Amino acid sequence: MKRALVCGAGGFIGGHLVKKLKREGYWVRGVDIKPHEFVPTQADGFRLLDLRDPQSCRTALTLSDGGSFEEVYQLAADMGGMGFISRAECEVLHNNALINIHMAHTAAEMGIPRYFFSSSVCIYRDMQPDEASVTEDDAVPANPDNEYGWEKLYAERVAMAYGRRYPMQVRVARFENCYGPEGTWTGGREKAPAALCRKVAEAEDSGTIEVWGDGTAIRVFTYVDDLVDGIFALMHSDLDGPVNLGSEERATVGDLVRTVIEASGKRLTVKYVPGPVGVHARNFSKARIASLGWKSKVSLREGIARTYPWIQAQVKVARNSAAHT
C-alpha cells in the first residue's frame, strides 16, 4: 500500500484530497496546524503540527516503521480570499515562505521520491478581458498583483530547485479558483464563490446583497472534485514544471452571482460596491493538463448546485446556535 502525506489536510482542498487518496487505496497521514472545521478527517493518521517549524516538517515526514512516504502533497498555506490576502500581506509572505522552504528542504533531505506543490494562477499578471490565453511559460517576466502570488512564484522555484538537486520528482499545479462544499464560508478568509453563497443564503427573499466590484471581472471557477482528480493525474505524470489546473469554463463575477441566486430560488437585487476585487481577467492555456487526458467535468451551474445547499445548511446551523446562546 502506497503511503502519502497531505500537508494542509485540515483545509478545504487538502480534506478533499485525503478522501481522493483513500478512494485510490492509499494509507494517508494528514497534517495541519488545526483540525478540519467541518468533517472528521478520513486520514489514517492526523498530526497537529506547525509546518513553519523545520522540526515539525521532519516529524510530519517521519514514519514509525522507519520507512518513507512515497508521495507528499504540500497544500498547507496561510491563505484566504482577496479580502484576506490584501490585508495580511506580511503573514502571507512570512508564514507561507517558511512552510514551503522547510517542507521542500526536509522532504528532499529525507529522500521523498515524489513531491507536489500547490501553486496558484495568482502568480500571473493582470490580464484584459479580450486577451488571448497565456501559457505556463508566460508567467515570466512576472508581475503578480498581490504578495500571495509573489510568494507562490518563489515557492514554485524552491520546490523545483530541490527537484533538480535531489532525486525527488516535483510536480507543481497552479490552481484556479477552487470551490465546493466543506471549505471556509465565513470569517473573512472565504473566497468569492463561498462568500456569495453565504450572502445569498443569509438574504431574505426579495432582499439585496452587496458584491465587491462591478461584476465584470472574468474568472475560472473549478469544482473541488475536478481539482483533486487533476492533482492526482499530475502527480502520477511525467510533466515537469508548473501546470495550470482549472476548468475551461470562463465566467464573469456577475455570472457567478446569477448562478448562485438561481441555485437559491430567491429573487434578489445585487448592489455592486467597492472592494478588493483582484485582477480584471484570467485566461490560461490548459493544454499541458489536457495532455494527460484531464478535463473538468463539473460545470459552474452544477458545482454551485452542489455547493449552495451545503453553505445554506451551515448558515442555518450558525443561526440556530446563535439563537440558543
User: Rule CB under 6 A: which residues touch ligand NAD?
Assistant: 8, 10-14, 32-34, 50-52, 75-79, 95, 99, 118, 120, 175, 177-178, 183-184, 191
Radius of gyration of the chain (CA): 19
**Chain centroid to CA 146:** 16
Contact 144, 124 (CB under 8 A): yes
Tell the smallest beta-carbon distance from residue 223 to ligand NAD (Å). Answer: 11
When CB distances to ligand NAD are compared, the closest residue is: 11
Tell the smallest beta-carbon distance from residue 248 to ligand NAD (Å). Answer: 16
Closer to ligand NAD by Cβ: residue 60 or 261: 60
Tell the smallest beta-carbon distance from residue 118 to ligand NAD (Å). Answer: 4
Contact 172, 160 (CB under 8 A): yes
Distance CA 133, CA 110 (A): 39
Contact 276, 86 (CB under 8 A): yes
Closer to ligand NAD by Cβ: residue 57 or 268: 57
Contact 60, 5 (CB under 8 A): yes
Which candidate, 243, 83, 55, 230, places its Cα nearest to that of 148?
83
Residue in 148, 166, 179, 223 annotated catalytic: 148
Contact 196, 259 (CB under 8 A): no
Cell representation of residue 212: 465587491
Tell the smallest beta-carbon distance from residue 156 to ligand NAD (Å). Answer: 11
Tell the smallest beta-carbon distance from residue 210 to ligand NAD (Å). Answer: 22
Cell representation of residue 160: 523545483
Closer to ligand NAD by Cβ: residue 103 or 268: 103
Query: In this structure, is the dihedral angle defined by the CA atoms of residues 128, 91, 170 and 153, taken in order, positive or negative?
Result: positive
Closer to ligand NAD by Cβ: residue 3 or 52: 52
To the query of whether residue 154 is one of the catalytic residues in this protein, the response is no
Closer to ligand NAD by Cβ: residue 222 or 264: 222
Question: Max Cα separation, the chain?
Answer: 61
Cell representation of residue 318: 450558525
Q: What residues are labeled active site?
A: 148
